[in-house]
Amino acid sequence: MLIKVVKVTKVKNFIRIMFFKIFILSLLFITNIFAHELRPTIANLEIIKNEKTFNANLSLRVNLESIIAGINPKHKNSKESEQSDLYDDLRKLDPKQLLREFENKFKNIENYIFLETKKNKYNPIINSIDIPQIEDLELIRDSIININFKDIESDQFRFFWSENFGPIILRVNSMEFGELHTELIKNKGYSSNITIEKNKNNFFKNFFNYLILGYEHILPKGLDHILFVLALFLLSSNIKTLILQISIFTIAHTITLFLGVFNVIKISSHIVEPIIALSIAYVGIENLFKNKLSKSRTIIVFLFGLLHGLGFAGVLNDIGVVKELFVSSLISFNIGVELGQISVIVLAYLFIKLPFYKMHWYSRKVTKPISLLISIVGLYWFFERLFF
């Protein structure tokens, strides 16, 4: 019996050491990808109301090198594209050279960016293009394009952004009415209809929208988060054990969700996502050797919860948060996430624990095999997110 315990302990220690080594090696690969990360363009459209018409000032934070090179928007990293070498060459150019490349390729900018009402199309007037001098080729370069639209005659319009330019986060606001619209435009040219008026139900509409966004990030879109919560569920049939783990996980991801959205902590998704996958694999494998909560498990759940929170923050940063409703948006998104996690637990209880947990083979034929499958999927995602 003593020999068996010693062997199990050695196996557990071996797994922990291997995971630590994999984690360290992954950081060596990850630190080289910041310059090649492709992020959505950020667009701030300021509405200036006149007596009968309105003007609009558009500020774009954009990766010019990616647009000029023609990187396919489906790629998350420039290294995935056939134009990767051209992208790297463009990054080496000084601001004047890069501006010249942009102007030569996009002489008819009105074909790529414009506003449209039911009756008219309004072409952009480029006011300025600010391209910073790049000092570190390992860091991405953000350029700022300022554009004006004049004498728009309707209070309802759509914004057009060429699909070839990749995804864009559009935020529309005005001095008179405040925040009017926020949207992630992806895989389509036009935004939804934007109306220039005060929305009396803005708070409740916004709260509900972010609640749904948080819930959908777990169910059905967040398979990685689903598997992590399921792995926590499978550790023990004891409800107190489950509640404690979920509470620790919730506290941890709430902390980094807020810190991430406030930009107190800013870590690339190319770092966060592989480690989230590794966390799934680790918890799944640990379930194979344990059936009760330990102190080390609570620490691990807390640390991995911090990582998952950064993943949640990345979603909010991509979509954008209305300034006037910043706190309520974060709270409603987090509530949505918690409701999603509770739904996963309820479904797991109904379809896994309730029918089988009284069976003497419950651990051997249910929790262990599912935990093993979860760990295999986590490892697969880890290597996929790290190298592909």
pTM reported for the whole predicted model: 0.65
Q: What is the pLDDT of residue 26?
A: 46
Task: Determine the average pLDDT of the residues in 186-201.
Answer: 78
Cβ 337 vs Cβ 305: under 8 Å = no
Tell me how many degrees the CA angle 338-285-245 measures, rounded to the nearest 5: 30
In sequence order, the β-bridge partners of residue 58 are: 45, 147
pLDDT band with cut points at 50, 70 and 90 for residue 23: very low
What are 13's two structure tokens? 């220690």
Task: Determine the average pLDDT of the residues in 364-387.
Answer: 88
CA 135 to centroid of chain Cα atoms = 27
**Each residue of 252-269: pLDDT tens digit?**
999 999 898 888 887 777
Q: What is the pLDDT of residue 29?
A: 45
> Does residue 24 have a pLDDT over 90?
no
Q: What is the pLDDT of residue 144?
A: 95
What mean pLDDT, rounded, does the chain reach?
Answer: 82
pLDDT band with cut points at 50, 70 and 90 for residue 32: very low
> Does residue 4 have a pLDDT over 60?
no
pLDDT band with cut points at 50, 70 and 90 for residue 5: very low
**Each residue of 293-349: pLDDT tens digit?**
788 888 888 988 898 888 888 777 766 676 667 788 889 989 999 999 999 999 998
Task: Determine the average pLDDT of the residues in 275-288.
Answer: 89
Give the span between the Cα atoms of 221 and 223, in whole angstroms: 6
Residues 6+ apart with CB under 8 A from 318: 40, 169, 184
**Residue of higher predicted confidence among 20 and 60:** 60
Taking alpha carbons only, the member of 59, 327, 332, 40 closest to residue 173 is 59
Residues 6+ apart with CB under 8 A from 179: 171, 172, 173, 202, 322, 323, 324, 325
Q: What is the pLDDT of residue 27?
A: 42
> Does residue 79 have a pLDDT over 80?
no
Show the 3-state SS of the chain.
Answer: CHHHHHHHHHHHHHHHHHHHHHHHHHHHHHCCCHHHECCCEEEEEEEEECCCCEEEEEEEEECHHHHHHCCCCCCCEHHHCCCHHHHHHHHCCCHHHHHHHHHHHCCCHHHCEEEECCCCEECCEEEEEECCCCCCCCCCCCEEEEEEEEEECCCEEEEEECHHHCCEEEEEEECCCEEEEEEEECCCCECCCEECCCCCCHHHHHHHHHHHHHHHHHCCCCHHHHHHHHHHHHCCCCHHHHHHHHHHHHHHHHHHHHHHHCCCCCCCHHHHHHHHHHHHHHHHHHHCCCCCCCHHHHHHHHHHHHHHHHHHHHHHHHHCCCHHHHHHHHHHHHHHHHHHHHHHHHHHHHHHHHHHCCCCCHHHHHHHHHHHHHHHHHHHHHHHHHHC
**Each residue of 84-135: pLDDT tens digit?**
889 889 988 999 999 999 999 988 899 999 999 999 999 999 999 999 988 7
> Does residue 201 have a pLDDT over 80?
no
